């Protein structure tokens, strides 16, 4: 973790007139996040009407630095091109050893990571409905010529030119977690059948795939919400954004909002219906989605299996393993 002295030095590199009066580390996410209390008489962002205010510092520790540097630029583009609520970027910088960081707006709201089922049925549906609207807006706002990681170049979003079609790129997305699962418990026994099923299913994917903006990590932990109303106040963590077909993005978002639960539960149906109802308010539901659902359900579950031993311990780990194995039984 960074000391307050180090954090102050980083902040002064961007805003020399700011004083850091308090630092609170946020125990969430792959990279380090801090809530800073700032006092300033000058260089105060326009939307802040006081001289004492909180700011978020996001510091790269795990993500590829080149990918990390894209997020503040992507956030700026999202804010200017859509109505999706995202935090404003106040500034970016790097340490002497070229570790990137950025400062952004502190937004109100509560994080309900892993607690979707504690919310009422109406709120669950409302969150999924809003998610569907957001995805439709992203899919309509950008169309790319290639599949892959989204990069920002000044006022444009693009994807580095490559020769891979969607089936080839999707294969790369599933191969990394498969390779990881192959070398450790508790899912190593499933890897041969997983790889065989995915290889055959991906080969069967056919059609003219459209490369659209996919958040790729649109889950409850990346929202700040009003739990009483279900209003999403802010959508966070855009560093995983890729260009992918809408079908993939919608199924992955369904998986994330359902926390990889049963595929045929009443809860899953509610989330799926909310997503579709929200999406179709201003866009057309992809006609191929139902035919391709199983391969995307299978492929998007692999990262959760890969990280399960890091996320859970004891009885929670056993419950998660059982949940994954039961879901896979209907897909393999």
pLDDT in tens, 157-199: 999 888 889 999 999 999 999 999 998 889 999 999 999 999 9
Strands laid side by side in the 156-159 sheet: 143-144, 211-214, 242-244, 148-153, 156-159
Percent pLDDT > 90 in the chain is 82
Q: How confident is the model at residue 43 (pLDDT cuts 50, 70, 90)?
A: low
| Residue 54: Cβ within 10 Å count | 15
pLDDT greater than 80 at residue 47: no
Would strands 19-26 and 32-39 be described as parallel, antiparallel, or unpaired?
A: antiparallel
Whole-angstrom distance, CA of residue 60 vs CA of residue 67: 10
Q: How confident is the model at residue 44 (pLDDT cuts 50, 70, 90)?
A: low
Domain total in the chain: 2
Residue 305 domain flag: yes
The pLDDT assigned to 28 comes to 78
CATH assignment at residue 163: 3.90.1200.10
Residue 84 has φ and ψ, to the nearest 5°, of -70, 130
Range of the domain at 220: 116-329
Residue 186, preceding peptide bond in cis (omega within 30° of 0): yes
Residue 40 has pLDDT above 90, yes or no: no
Residues 148 and 282 reside in one and the same domain:
yes
The terminus-to-terminus CA distance of the chain in angstroms comes to: 43
**Secondary structure class of 227 (helix, strand, coil):** coil
Q: With 70 as the cut, is the pLDDT of residue 46 above it?
A: no
Q: Are 147 and 208 in contact (CB under 8 A)?
A: no
Answer yes or no: do 129 and 58 share one domain: no
Choose among 141, 171, 140: nearest CA to 298. Answer: 171
Would 41 be classed as within a structural domain? yes
Q: Token digits for 224?
A: 């700040």
Task: Say whether 218 sits in a helix, a strand or coil.
Answer: coil
176 and 72 share one domain: no
Sheet of strand 52-59: strand arrangement: 19-26, 32-39, 52-59, 100-105, 89-94
Cβ atoms within 10 Å of 79's Cβ, excluding its own? 15
pLDDT of the residue at 161: 83
pTM of the complete model:
0.92
| 62 lies in the same domain as 203 | no
Mean pLDDT within 228-238: 94
d(CA 199, CA 291): 16
- How does the average pLDDT of the chain come out, rounded? 93
d(CA 103, CA 221): 20
The SS3 of residue 244 is strand
Q: Is the pLDDT of residue 49 over 70?
A: no
CA–CA distance from 322 to each of 33, 185, 262, 319 (Å)?
32, 13, 11, 5
User: How does DSSP classify residue 284?
Assistant: P
Question: Token pair of 219, please?
Answer: 């889950």
In percent, how much of the chain has pLDDT > 70?
97
The verdict on 278 and 145 lying in the same domain is yes
Same-domain status, 124 and 49? no
183 forms beta bridges with none
**pLDDT confidence tier of residue 330, bands split at 50, 70 and 90:** confident
The H helix count followed by the E strand count for the chain is: 10, 12
In a domain, 125, yes or no: yes
């Amino acid at each position: 973790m960074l000391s307050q002295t180090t954090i102050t030095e980083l902040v002064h590199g961007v805003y020399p007139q700011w004083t850091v009066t308090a630092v609170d580390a946020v125990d969430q996410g792959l990279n380090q996040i801090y809530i800073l209390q700032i006092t300033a008489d000058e260089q105060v962002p326009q939307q802040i009407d006081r001289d004492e205010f909180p700011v978020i510092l996001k510091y790269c520790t795990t993500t590829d630095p080149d990918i990390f540097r894209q997020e503040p630029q992507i956030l700026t583009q999202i804010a200017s091109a859509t109505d999706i609520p995202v935090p404003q970027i106040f500034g970016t910088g790097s340490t002497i050893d070229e570790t990137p960081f950025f400062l952004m707006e502190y937004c109100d709201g509560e994080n309900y990571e892993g607690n979707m089922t504690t919310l009422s049925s109406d709120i669950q549906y409302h969150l999924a409905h809003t998610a569907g609207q957001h995805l439709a807006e992203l899919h309509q706002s950008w169309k790319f010529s290639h599949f892959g990681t989204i990069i920002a170049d000044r006022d444009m979003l693009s994807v580095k030119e490559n020769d891979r079609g969607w089936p080839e790129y999707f294969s790369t997305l599933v191969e990394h977690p498969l390779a990881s699962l192959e070398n450790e418990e508790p899912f190593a026994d499933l890897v041969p059948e997983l790889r065989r099923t995915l290889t055959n299913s991906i080969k069967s994917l056919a059609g003219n795939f459209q490369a659209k903006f996919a958040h790729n990590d649109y889950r409850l932990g990346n929202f700040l919400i009003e739990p009483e109303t279900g209003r999403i106040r802010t959508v966070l963590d855009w560093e995983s954004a890729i260009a992918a077909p809408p079908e993939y993005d919608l199924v992955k978002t369904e998986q994330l909002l359902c926390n990889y639960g049963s595929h045929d539960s009443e809860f899953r149906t509610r989330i799926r219906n909310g997503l579709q109802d929200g999406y179709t308010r201003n866009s057309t539901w992809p006609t191929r989605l139902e035919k391709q659902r199983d391969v995307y359900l299978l492929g998007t579950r692999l990262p959760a299996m890969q990280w399960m031993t890091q996320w859970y311990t004891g009885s929670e780990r056993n419950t998660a393993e059982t949940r994954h194995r039961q879901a896979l039984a209907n897909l393999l």
